[in-house]
Structure 1
């Protein structure tokens, strides 16, 4: 079984201290996505970061697995800056482009008012100035990928779902590469759903800097984390990552529940399996701590990136909570800071 070692915990600044929104409230860092593009950690908040010169998507140089505080760069292209509720990033199978997805869980059937919650974007690595909108559609002046909702609904068989994972895997035997959408919530609507760990795949090809789907969407993988001893609460998929170097796939599944005593419990688990096992539908491994017990994050892990040396960089969405776990070197973070954990997997 795979075992994990915590190498370092810390925080990084997502914007300047003291930033306020239009109502005068402190803006809170809520990081929900991360990718390593070969030099930088590209991250996103699932909440707005106000200001034309800022964005919910930003990048930090990464040296020896650690984000560098003086290297913050916001990705301010209009399509990137105005999307809402980013959930995950992925490198294309070719490794030359970065793809970003929102949750695709909000839509207004009567207008385009919520279409910006439905965007799938792509841009060349290191060049976010001219992003392409995948499945580009314009309604009432709003550009989005909302048409992909029909493909996802047909694959999942339910009108409500939430995308929280994204990865791209190479094609085999001449087949096209495939984009993977990790599904966390599935049901009738946002109040009546189940947590799931399900993956929808769609074949694609690159046309210059644009991504074009070439076939139907379909469920390719599904597992039930509750079957594993040590998984304490109902969890749903919160991130999906493919390591192109090792051909391993990683899942994060997280929980946010109220226990029998009325206390809020948050945490997450890490899972791993080879691409061959994934394609064969075999169970993933529940990654263990050094003592052999299931490794459980003490916070709601929302994104995982594989660095060039195979180490894992994990980010969290703590919502508005500022207190950090007991094992963290600091007691609390500031609102503009986000926590991270650097891991080694044996």
Structure 2
């Protein structure tokens, strides 16, 4: 059994209060991805953050006292600013590179107007200015990981899907096994099911620092959260995170439902050993210290391993501004991202 206790909760100030976009609309931070690089948290909002000196991807230092947004730094390389709707980060299995994926949930093959939503990026740890696009379209001037999208089409088997998880684990070939977590699948953005599927392929990082797949993308894992009786709502996968300290994989699921004419959001945390993952065994639901199911009061979307005991959870509450237990205030500012730090036992 895996149990967790809350060590710290709070909010990160991600850009100036009152920031507005080109249409005059208030910008809302919606953190959907996070990874710890050994010194800093790298986070991303799944909505753009406007400004030449800003981007949707940024880093904040973190110490034993928690994250410090006074040291926030935006990543402004062209490829990072160009990609839209970031959904998850990961480190390569050897910890030398950062990977970032968008949602791959929309495409227009004729106009290429939606290519920004179809990106897998890689850069050396600590060197985001060296970012490269993984599996790009071979045609000049066509941006995005469109070759990868074709592979995802084949592995997932539906015309519509959304990627929200990314993790690299040790594998039998190459430099490791890269896993993509599927949250939604179906026939359109209006006709889909929430799922918890994991597809992937083995990879290597070549001499140019780019990731190359060395075998076919295929399904590796799936599970149904609703088979656990304490899961109250229909969930979809929202993040994957490899724990190299204990050779296990964390899976984050979240829900957004309407109940009694009221919107409800939240999530659950699961863990599975790499051995059990390979065997297709169901993950274990993480529980509170009292033994109850750990149910987040916010839409848990990002997960980062801080050390052998601590996890950082980021929330993407969309337009829900309530803070609940995270702060004594009732509501957050649009520039604030709520988070929780857990300790697992």
For the criterion TM > 0.5, the same-fold answer is yes
- Single out whichever of 324-333 and 113-122 deviates more from structure 2: 324-333
1:247-258 matches, cutoff 5 A: 247-258=247-258
Equivalent position of 1:266 in the other structure = 265
Distance of 1:41 and 1:69 partners within structure 2: 10
- The number of residues matched between the two structures is 344
Confirm or deny: 8 A CA contact 1:65 1:313 kept in the other structure: no
Instruction: Please state if 1:193 is matched with 2:164.
Output: no
Equivalent position of 2:4 in the other structure = 4
Confirm or deny: 8 A CA contact 1:112 1:140 kept in the other structure: no
Distance of 1:151 and 1:264 partners within structure 2: 35
Q: Secondary structure, in 3 states, of the residue corresponding to 2:287? A: coil
Confirm or deny: 8 A CA contact 1:249 1:273 kept in the other structure: yes
Give the superposition deviation at 1:65.
Answer: 6.1
Give the superposition deviation at 1:330.
Answer: 3.3
Equivalent position of 1:85 in the other structure = 85
Equivalent position of 1:339 in the other structure = 338
Equivalent position of 1:232 in the other structure = 232
Q: Deviations over 1:150-173 (max 9, x none)?
A: 21111111111110000001124x
Distance of 1:342 and 1:314 partners within structure 2: 6
Q: Secondary structure, in 3 states, of the residue corresponding to 2:220? A: strand
Distance of 1:109 and 1:136 partners within structure 2: 14
Distance of 2:6 and 2:286 partners within structure 1: 13
Give the superposition deviation at 1:333.
Answer: 1.2
Q: Secondary structure, in 3 states, of the residue corresponding to 2:16? A: coil
| Gapped regions of structure 2 (runs ≥ 5) | none
Give the superposition deviation at 1:323.
Answer: 1.4
Relative distance call for 1:139 and 1:321 in structure 2 (3 A) is farther
- Single out whichever of 11-20 and 196-205 deviates more from structure 2: 11-20
Distance of 2:308 and 2:183 partners within structure 1: 29
Instruction: Please state if 1:24 is matched with 2:27.
Output: no
- Single out whichever of 141-150 and 113-122 deviates more from structure 2: 141-150
Relative distance call for 1:84 and 1:262 in structure 2 (3 A) is same
Relative distance call for 1:65 and 1:309 in structure 2 (3 A) is farther
Equivalent position of 1:323 in the other structure = 322
| Gapped regions of structure 1 (runs ≥ 5) | none
Distance of 2:78 and 2:149 partners within structure 1: 22
Q: Secondary structure, in 3 states, of the residue corresponding to 1:8? A: strand
Please give the TM-score of this superposition, normalised by the length of structure 1.
0.96
Confirm or deny: 8 A CA contact 2:14 2:335 kept in the other structure: yes
Q: Secondary structure, in 3 states, of the residue corresponding to 2:146? A: coil
Please give the TM-score of this superposition, normalised by the length of structure 2.
0.97
